[in-house]
Structure 1
Amino acid sequence: MSLIDYVVVAAYFVVMIAIGIWAMRRVNDQEDYFMGGRGFGKLLQTFAAFGAGTGAHEPIQVGRTGWTSGLSGVWSALMWLFVTPVYWITAVWYRRMRHLTLGDWFVERYQSKSLGAAYAVFAIVFYMFYLSTMLSAIAKFAAPLVGAEEIFGVELKFVLVPGLAAVVIVYGVLGGLTAAYWTDLIQGIFIILLSVLLIPYGLWELVKEYGDPETQGFLDGFRIMHERVSADYFNLFTGPSAGEFPLQYIVALTVLALVGIVVQPHFIATGGGSAKSENEARIGLVVGNFLKRLCTVGWAITALIALALLAGSPELAKDPDYVWGIAAKEILGPLNLGLVGLMLACLMAAMMSSADTYMIVSSALITRNIYVAYINPDGTERENVRVARWTGLAIIVGASIVALTMADVFAQFLLAIQLPIIFAAPFWVGMYWRRANATSVKITITFSALFFFVLPIVIPLISPSLTTDSKWTTTTDRITKTLTRPATAADVAKHEAWVQAIENADGDQDTINQIGAEPPSGALGEEIEIVLRSGDKAIFWSDGVKAVDGEPTYEQVSLVTDGDMTILTERRTGPQKGVGQFNLDIVIYRFFGFDFSDVTKATLESLKLPTRVLLPFLVLIIASYLTPRGNSSQLDRYFAKMKTEVHPDPVIDRANLEAAYRDPSQLDHRKLFPNSELEIQKPRPSDWIGFIGSVAICFVIVGILVWLAQIGA
């Protein structure tokens, strides 16, 4: 990075801190600090949803999966696309709750302070791991932009992680949600720049490098991209990684995301709770998330351009995680316009726009559902805001410590996104069914925590013989597909980069193992042999199995020829040892006689959907029938509130609520199933029109992605 790049980054930090100081003057009470006075309109709600929902790890993740899986790799982030229409419905829920935290909702709906406290603890763990993922990611991916792994002899992450945390703490802790939302507006613009900046410059670089800049424009870069990259990289559901994201896996990911996303703690704010009205809540949440989906399209196209342009990079042969950093350095660096600094600021914005909101929402939960509920119920507004600022600081510091001490970024991310399973069923059922009660929810939370998180770790510890029992160490069949096709320029460059990376490793075996297998070798246009290997996936162990006697051995199951492709099926032999957690949800299938030997990795992951979604709901429903009901009058008040449309004027809204509380039965005509315990409301025209329109936009976005990828084909 040059001096102008550092100036751009420094200016960005100064503006963020200035907004925090400005917003601090506007904070008078908890509602101001945690919800910005519920005065945000469509623009700020849109960019709040957009910023909070877009993490620094996502463009990098799409860059990596695009590099390895082609266009189908976009589903590593686009899996949320078909969840978006549901936000048109859920945004109304969060606004009608009229709460400052989702912990408050659990307290009111289930008449239990302890459930609010339990949810607050969940939020702390969730955000420490989720934020640590972003901090770890940005520290790693900034290395190519900065051009060094160390600064003044100190590893880059030990400088960058505390620095980013400090800036977030200053403007977030001082200014609360108002500061977070105004910075999200600016950071949202930066994220959009991040998503599109490399596309025109990258296409033009392709023309300069492999075309004729005198007679061709940057759009000709699309044609050059297709000439240099094999056609299988442009398939949306299959690709060069033997179908890493097939349709059934995408559907499973979408359903899991839908079930869990509604209880992520920040949704009480960005999901609509801080908006002026229900209309602002809906438009902000849906439009903000569709903006993210469009940015995801930009990330996928950027990854394909980078593959065409940078396939010969030894650094990327070693680690595709560096796609964004190296692309920015190679494409934007020579221009010396401060664009590399802008790209780094954009990447920081993707992280910070999420971190600030998460920090404030978490501090709200600790303050209201632990401090006020159990420690100081009579605290003043000033005291509560002060506690919130200190707890917000502690959460960011905690996330930073996890980021600096936990080496496995992906493990941090996986743990974070699976945690909402614990509270998902109580939320969904509680929204619609009166019979669900506090005792049944506690039973469900305990079951989910034990079954999905505790027992998978504990069982191998108390029964180590399971790890070597042949009944539990089986794997799926290894499938090797071999085909031939003409070598593209990217194929040639990738092999050259692999050779260079091996030479640079200088015999270090750990580095050589990280680089991976040798890619196909051949001259441009020459027939090369492509080997696609899949399967050999441990069925019951999270981290796989390893052969007890050294390298794994295989026996042939079948060998068939399908046109120009040869398909070899093999099965592991010999004693194996399971590694990691024991997959209890897959064990259930074993007792019903399922044979997993011939399923793909994606199908195996998809089979976790029924257990992770259905089991908690089943436990909650059964437990609800076996335990005492909640207080009927309090339930009447709660559901009357959820049927009362929010008025933008707080005084009028309060009067409407009081009228509903006096006679909750006057709103029963809005129930879809009268005289039942189901509290599903009749959909209004605005409900189903907005939902159907959102579904249509999903297909439009997929169409835009396919159209862009096929330009120049």
Structure 2
Amino acid sequence: MPTNADLSTVIVFVLYLVAVLAIGIWAYRKNNDMGDFAIGGRRLGTFVTTLSAKATDSSQWVFFGLPGAFYISGMRNIWLIIGLTIGFYLSWKLLAGRLRTYSSKVSDWRTDAPGESVTLPGFFANRFRSNSVRTASAIFIIIFYVIYLGSAFIATGVIFQQIFGGSVVTGTIVGAVVVMVYSSLGGYLASSYTDLVQGLLMWGSLIAVSVVAIAKVGGVGGFIEAISAENPDLGSPVAAVELVGDSWITAGSSVPFVAIVSALAWAFGYFGSPHILARFMGMRKAESARGGARLGLFLSITLLGSAGVVGFAAIAIFGSGLENPEDAYMALVGELFPSWVAGIFLAGVLSAVMSTADSQLVVASTTLTEDFYRAFINREAPQKTLVWLSRVAVLFCTGVGILVALRGGTILDLVGYAWAGFGASFGPALLAALYWRRATWFGALLSIIVGGSTVILYRMVDTIGLYELIPGFAAGLLALWLGSWLGPKKKQAPVTAQFDVLTAR
């Protein structure tokens, strides 16, 4: 039985869980076909879409990994924030509007009848008129989502254990079941509107912790002074500072160039992440991309910037006394706020996890239903049947994700690996689908296979610490060019003709 102080935390936390489940039940009645379940019937506005996309992107690493990184090595981690912010902005500018338009207008290549593409593999298949491209993209989606879901469920286990006690294993299963229930009931709508709540909670909690922490140490001046007292180089983006023992040591003359490039390269992950691209496909209108780019830029800077401030605040308040750097946010919440407020902020941590996991479950389940069952087993399946099969697929994907989580692993490492896999597998192919008239089905197929495989293989041979997304994305681009120029072109005429229709003003 929790103490009185702990009881208020539990009550607030349970109310949050009830709220997200209620959204799932509400959205359940609005899912009549696969378009509703997969992309919400393309009826979400700019604000909901943008906040949902940012919440989906900002998983548990924003509360644990990023503050922990700033606590350990200071401002050198700003390169990661810059890379992610640029990537999020460019994805809105380059991809959002076109993907929304093309995915709604591209014809079903098997019948040449007007139709919509509600999944990324489905869009690739219709754009390049090839089921081989659909199959390859669907396989890599499932592979990397299994890894991503495992990392999310590990985090839910840790959070549930901290609040309710018990084992991490129990917390992992309970947290996964909660996400599974509202995702299977409400699909994309439930995922998007819970992301709205979760995104606001994430943003508000990080801002509040940052502001209160700075005020506690005497304002901005006291904040900077306290950090500089530990090591002046903590504020430098190019100083190689590391926490060694109980003090911060400047380990080298500068941050290695490979480390900076690897951090900036996280930007490319946005070009191929299906759970974020689904938000673009589900917008009410393509024109929302303009407002989404501006709002997304603001959200990215303030959300990720606040996570960095939290890491610095832990240095200012606790010095080198934190046993685990990734506990910086949790330690500050316990130090600065009463227990009932802590319940809200702990819900903010879980919301970061759930907002990503729910989107991944919906995308993975609709991929299994739309791009395997409907594409190859029963093309004439009724819409109601497909929706229910998608719900069953959510259960299946949850079970696999739990198994991965129970095997253990580092959360941030799993997230980075899956992020690289998505960016390298689908980024080059999607850019070509939207912008390159001469891209062929063979080039897209080769790009997906080579890009995704390079991420998997490069990790096994890397000796310099280069982020696997860089060689993976480069290999995907090269394979796209070689495959399109040197590969078979017998089926290219209708592909080019359709692209001309899509791009005609």
TM range (shorter): 0.7 to 0.9
Structure 1 outlier segments of 4+, above 6 Å: none
Aligned length: 477
When structure 1 is superposed on structure 2, of 42-51 and 285-294 the one drifting more is 285-294
- The Cα of 1:279 is off from its aligned counterpart by 1.5
- The Cα of 1:445 is off from its aligned counterpart by 3.9
CA distance in 2, matches of 1:37, 1:25: 13
1:89 is aligned, of 89, 94, 99, to 94
Corresponding residue SS for 2:489: coil
CA distance in 1, matches of 2:255, 2:330: 25
- The Cα of 1:247 is off from its aligned counterpart by 6.4
Specify the alignment match of 1:342 in structure 2: 344
Specify the alignment match of 1:234 in structure 2: 235
Paired amino acid for 2:292: G
Corresponding residue SS for 2:32: coil
Asked if 1:106 is matched to 2:124, the reply is yes
Judging by fraction of residues, say which structure has more helix: 2
**Distance 1:444-1:354 versus aligned 2 partners, 3 A rule:** closer
2:307 is aligned, of 299, 305, 309, to 299
When structure 1 is superposed on structure 2, of 427-436 and 384-393 the one drifting more is 427-436
Paired amino acid for 2:100: R
CA distance in 2, matches of 1:605, 1:238: 19
Q: CA offsets per residue over residues 118-154 of structure 1, 9 Å max, x none?
A: 21121112222112222223434666x54x9x52xxx
Specify the alignment match of 1:257 in structure 2: 266
Paired amino acid for 1:112: S
- The Cα of 1:636 is off from its aligned counterpart by 4.2
Matches for 1:530-679 after TM superposition, within 5 Å:
581-583=460-462, 605=466, 611-629=471-489, 631-643=491-503, 667=504
**Distance 1:120-1:224 versus aligned 2 partners, 3 A rule:** same
CA distance in 2, matches of 1:609, 1:4: 44
Asked if 1:193 is matched to 2:193, the reply is no
- The Cα of 1:191 is off from its aligned counterpart by 0.4
**Distance 1:638-1:268 versus aligned 2 partners, 3 A rule:** farther
1:329 is aligned, of 314, 330, 334, to 334
User: Are the aligned partners of 1:141 and 1:321 in contact in 2 as well (CA < 8 Å)?
Assistant: no
Q: CA offsets per residue over residues 226-246 of structure 1, 9 Å max, x none?
A: 464322111133252347856
CA distance in 1, matches of 2:256, 2:436: 35
**Distance 1:56-1:406 versus aligned 2 partners, 3 A rule:** same
CA distance in 2, matches of 1:422, 1:219: 43
CA distance in 2, matches of 1:287, 1:398: 35
- The Cα of 1:391 is off from its aligned counterpart by 0.8
- The Cα of 1:382 is off from its aligned counterpart by 0.4
User: Are the aligned partners of 1:60 and 1:323 in contact in 2 as well (CA < 8 Å)?
Assistant: yes
- The Cα of 1:113 is off from its aligned counterpart by 1.3
Paired amino acid for 2:327: Y
Paired amino acid for 2:360: Y
Specify the alignment match of 1:353 in structure 2: 355
1:398 is aligned, of 397, 400, 424, to 400
- The Cα of 1:312 is off from its aligned counterpart by 5.0
Specify the alignment match of 1:170 in structure 2: 181
CA distance in 2, matches of 1:142, 1:168: 13
CA distance in 2, matches of 1:240, 1:434: 47
User: Are the aligned partners of 2:97 and 2:289 in contact in 1 as well (CA < 8 Å)?
Assistant: yes
User: Are the aligned partners of 2:74 and 2:312 in contact in 1 as well (CA < 8 Å)?
Assistant: yes
CA distance in 1, matches of 2:294, 2:401: 29
- The Cα of 1:347 is off from its aligned counterpart by 0.3
User: Are the aligned partners of 2:65 and 2:412 in contact in 1 as well (CA < 8 Å)?
Assistant: no
Corresponding residue SS for 1:52: helix
Q: CA offsets per residue over residues 641-679 of structure 1, 9 Å max, x none?
A: 532xxxxxxxxxxxxxxxxxxxxxxx3xx6xxxxxxxxx
**Distance 1:70-1:451 versus aligned 2 partners, 3 A rule:** closer
CA distance in 1, matches of 2:37, 2:100: 17
CA distance in 1, matches of 2:451, 2:426: 8
TM-score scaled by length of structure 1? 0.62
Q: CA offsets per residue over residues 406-464 of structure 1, 9 Å max, x none?
A: 3333442243122122333333333333433223433444444554425x6xxxxxxxx
Asked if 1:225 is matched to 2:226, the reply is yes
Higher-Rg structure is 1
Matches for 1:413-492 after TM superposition, within 5 Å:
413-420=415-422, 421-454=424-457
- The Cα of 1:182 is off from its aligned counterpart by 1.4
CA distance in 1, matches of 2:35, 2:370: 11
- The Cα of 1:55 is off from its aligned counterpart by 0.5
CA distance in 2, matches of 1:134, 1:359: 11
Asked if 1:160 is matched to 2:178, the reply is no
CA distance in 2, matches of 1:285, 1:389: 32
What is the root-mean-square deviation in Å for CA atoms of aligned residues?
A: 2.7
The runs of 5 or more residues in structure 2 that have no matched partner are 105-116, 243-250
Specify the alignment match of 2:16 in structure 1: 12
Corresponding residue SS for 2:274: coil
Paired amino acid for 2:149: L
**Distance 1:183-1:630 versus aligned 2 partners, 3 A rule:** farther
Corresponding residue SS for 1:266: helix
**Distance 1:610-1:176 versus aligned 2 partners, 3 A rule:** closer
CA distance in 2, matches of 1:12, 1:641: 47
**Distance 1:347-1:452 versus aligned 2 partners, 3 A rule:** closer
Paired amino acid for 1:433: W
Paired amino acid for 1:306: A
CA distance in 1, matches of 2:403, 2:270: 25
CA distance in 2, matches of 1:276, 1:200: 35
TM-score scaled by length of structure 2? 0.86
Q: CA offsets per residue over residues 47-104 of structure 1, 9 Å max, x none?
A: 1112111101223111111111112224344421222332212111211121211111
Corresponding residue SS for 1:395: helix
- The Cα of 1:34 is off from its aligned counterpart by 1.4
Corresponding residue SS for 2:241: coil
User: Are the aligned partners of 1:78 and 1:296 in contact in 2 as well (CA < 8 Å)?
Assistant: no
**Distance 1:191-1:119 versus aligned 2 partners, 3 A rule:** same
CA distance in 2, matches of 1:95, 1:130: 25
Asked if 1:180 is matched to 2:183, the reply is no
User: Are the aligned partners of 2:183 and 2:191 in contact in 1 as well (CA < 8 Å)?
Assistant: yes
- The Cα of 1:357 is off from its aligned counterpart by 1.6
Paired amino acid for 2:214: L
Specify the alignment match of 1:64 in structure 2: 68
**Distance 1:80-1:103 versus aligned 2 partners, 3 A rule:** same
Judging by fraction of residues, say which structure has more strand: 1
CA distance in 2, matches of 1:344, 1:377: 45
Paired amino acid for 1:262: F
- The Cα of 1:15 is off from its aligned counterpart by 0.7
